[in-house]
Amino acid sequence: MREVAIIGVGMTDFGELWQTPLRDLYAEAVVSCLKDAEIERDQIQSAWMGCMSSGLFNHQEHLASILSDYAGLRGIAATRVESACASGGAAFRAAYLEVASGASDFVIASGVEKMNDGADATFCLATAADQEYEVYHGVTFPGLYAMIATAHMHKHGTTYDMLCQVAVKNHKHGAMNPKAQFPMEITTDTVKNAVRVAEPLGLFDCSPVTDGAAAVLLAPVEVAKALGKPLVTIKGSGQAVDSIALHDRPDPSRIPSVGMAARKAFEHAGVTVRDIDVCEVHDCFTIAELCCLEEIGFYEAGQAGGATLAGETALGGKMPVNTSGGLKSKGHPVGATGIGQIVEIYEQLSGLSGDRQVSGARLGLAQNMGGSGGSSVVHILEVK
């Protein structure tokens, strides 16, 4: 396998972008990515695009063709990838493997989702849960994560103050991110006093409904060296699926696909969790950030909440988590999220994160998850 580097990134604002059609979101991300890489369109050989549900959200399928054509990439090999909210991470892995295998030299990995287009977002998202055993009985994602939170609280003594601190911390980071959907600082009282969505989770425990796109360009490491750019390489890649329905898992307070994907990525990279300097994890709900940190191995089961309250996961702390603002503050355009995470880690490792910079970061991790954890993708990036 060849070594692979990221040679350019591009991203739209994340938010309620009612005036911007799906195809313009994609084109904006791709055009800014190619500009960043200083690569011409006719050099691109292939594109993998993560998108969860353009059929339900936008009544548009056959996405790889329509988006590539609109972005001026007619003739390339292009494929849409779907793994619910992990679609972006899965698209990145497919693009990485294509370049690593030697099949292509210039491959775009992207993600795009336009969730504000008139459709019922809660209904569209719920198609990624188990229809027969979960959705037919009335439960949607806030309800599923509320059950995970309740089980975690019962088993480990996790408190609501710990969940609140995840939101407070991520909004603090997001307030420094000009592309974030909700770039404002909040307090614990904001989270506690917000309208309840599914007990124990309230409005500020939830990621929002978001439009956005992100793209990265991958190439063999020799090409990146010749361009004279910061050399950010993909050191590890892991992916795993698990049962979708919570009742099929031995312990509903856990999300095992995250750990399975992380172990594969660490083994591939030849590093351990202690080597990681900065990470983006899939905080679709506040409880998810704690579960993901524990499954990846940053903390023992039940310990991530206390560490969050102690400030360890904030910028300046021992293990900065979700410096972009995470899904909670930056926003969660589901198919684009995994690529947005890669953009943040690339910028951190390149020293381009401005006020959010983690000084001296050399190794970063991005973890992207589908639904309530039926799928997970983990990547480890390194700057040489």
β-pair type (201-202, 46-50):
unpaired
Concerning whether 247 is annotated as a catalytic residue, the answer is: no
Q: 266-295: which residues touch ligand COA (CB under 6 A)?
A: 284
* Residue 85 found at the interface with ligand COA (CB under 6 A): yes
Nearer to ligand COA, 313 or 329 (CB): 329
* DSSP-H helix ranges across the chain: 22-37, 54-58, 63-70, 87-100, 121-126, 141-156, 160-174, 188-193, 221-227, 256-269, 286-296, 304-309, 326-330, 334-349
Contact segment (CB under 6 A) with ligand COA among 39-47, 105-113, 206-214, 353-361 equals 206-214
Q: 125-184: which residues touch ligand COA (CB under 6 A)?
A: 125, 141-142, 182
Backbone angles phi, psi at 19, to 5 degrees: -85, -5
Nearer to ligand COA, 68 or 324 (CB): 324
Neighbours of 188 (CB within 10 A): 15
Concerning whether 292 is annotated as a catalytic residue, the answer is: no
User: Site for ligand COA (CB under 6 A): which residue of 162, 191, 206, 314?
Assistant: 206
Residues 209-228 as x/- pattern, contact with ligand COA by CB under 6 A: x-------------------
* Residue 207 found at the interface with ligand COA (CB under 6 A): yes
- Catalytic-labelled residue, pool 156, 173, 282, 332: 332
Tokens at 250, concatenated: 């031995």
User: Site for ligand COA (CB under 6 A): which residue of 111, 305, 326, 371?
Assistant: 371
CA neighbor of 88 nearest in space, from 346, 378, 381, 383: 378
Contact segment (CB under 6 A) with ligand COA among 96-104, 201-209, 316-324, 348-356 equals 201-209
Contact segment (CB under 6 A) with ligand COA among 3-11, 63-71, 196-204, 240-248 equals 196-204
Class of residue 367 by CB neighbours under 10 A (exposed 0-12, middle 13-18, buried 19+): buried
C-alpha separations of 152 from 10, 34, 162, 270, 349 in Å:
37, 44, 12, 31, 33
Nearer to ligand COA, 149 or 219 (CB): 149
CB 257, min distance to ligand COA, A: 13
CB 176, min distance to ligand COA, A: 17
β-pair type (4-11, 232-241):
antiparallel
* Residue 109 found at the interface with ligand COA (CB under 6 A): no
Backbone angles phi, psi at 166, to 5 degrees: -60, -45
Backbone angles phi, psi at 341, to 5 degrees: -65, -40
- Catalytic-labelled residue, pool 33, 51, 85, 292: 85
C-alpha separations of 185 from 182, 308, 312, 333, 341 in Å:
9, 17, 18, 21, 21
Residues 324-353 as x/- pattern, contact with ligand COA by CB under 6 A: --------x-x-------------------
* Residue 11 found at the interface with ligand COA (CB under 6 A): no
Residues 6+ apart with CB under 8 A from 44: 34, 73, 76, 106, 107, 108, 217
Show which residues are catalytic: 85, 332
Q: Using CB under 6 A as the criterion, which residues of the chain lie in contact with ligand COA when the complex forms?
A: 85, 122, 125, 141-142, 182, 197, 203-204, 206-209, 284, 332, 334, 371
